[in-house]
Amino acid sequence: MTMVSEQWFIDIIKENTPYKRVNFAEENNIDLLHDQNTTPRIFVGHRGIKLQYPETFFTDAYKGTDNQELLITEIQFICTRAELPTVRDNIKNAYTGKSPFPGDSSFSTINFMEASLVAKTTTKIYWSESVGLVMPRIGGYPY
C-alpha cells in the first residue's frame, strides 16, 4: 500500500483555495482562537488508517490481503463565525475528488467523512473535518 504525505494535502488546499496559511497540524491549541492574526488558518495532519473490514483481521488471513486501507486525514481551520460556510466550502471543494494516484483516480479519491466543532468564541470558530482516501495496493507513486 502506498501512503500519501500530509504535504500533498497541504499543497492541494493551497493550490485550490485563496488560503496560503496552511501548515502541519500540531496539538489542538484553543489559544489560537485568541490570536490576533488574521484568519483563516488551516492545519493538516493524518489521524490514522482504518481497514475496510476490520473484523477479518484476525479471522481470515486470506481475506486480509484484500482488505483495503483507508487513510484518515484531519483538516482543521480557524476563521470568523461569519466566514465558516465560505471557508468550509472552499476547502471541501479543494480536496473533493482529488487523487494523488493518477492511475487510480477512478478508485482512490479524497472524500468527506465527518466534521465537528473544536472550539468557539463570540467571533471565531475552530473547526475540524476528517477526510478519507482509499490507498491503492500498487506502489510507485510520488507521494
Per-residue pLDDT tens over the stretch 12-47: 999 999 999 999 988 766 666 667 776 798 999 999
Q: How far is CA 39 from the centre of its chain?
A: 19
Percentage of residues of the chain with pLDDT beyond 70: 72
Dist CA 39 CA 73 (whole Å): 21
What's at 79, amino acid-wise? C
* 114-133 tens-digit pLDDT: 999 998 988 899 999 999 99
**Residue 88 has which C-alpha cell?**
468550509
Q: Which of 110, 117, 103, 106 is nearest to 134 (CA)?
A: 110
Using CB atoms within 10 Å of the CB of residue 31, give its burial: 0 to 12 exposed, 13 to 18 middle, 19+ buried: exposed
CA angle 114, 47, 49 (to 5 degrees): 95
Q: Model-level pTM?
A: 0.80
Q: List the beta bridge partners of residue 80.
A: 124
Whole-angstrom distance, CA of residue 44 vs CA of residue 110: 14
Domains of the chain: 6-135 (3.30.2000.10)
Q: Are 38 and 77 spatial neighbours (Cβ–Cβ below 8 Å)?
A: no
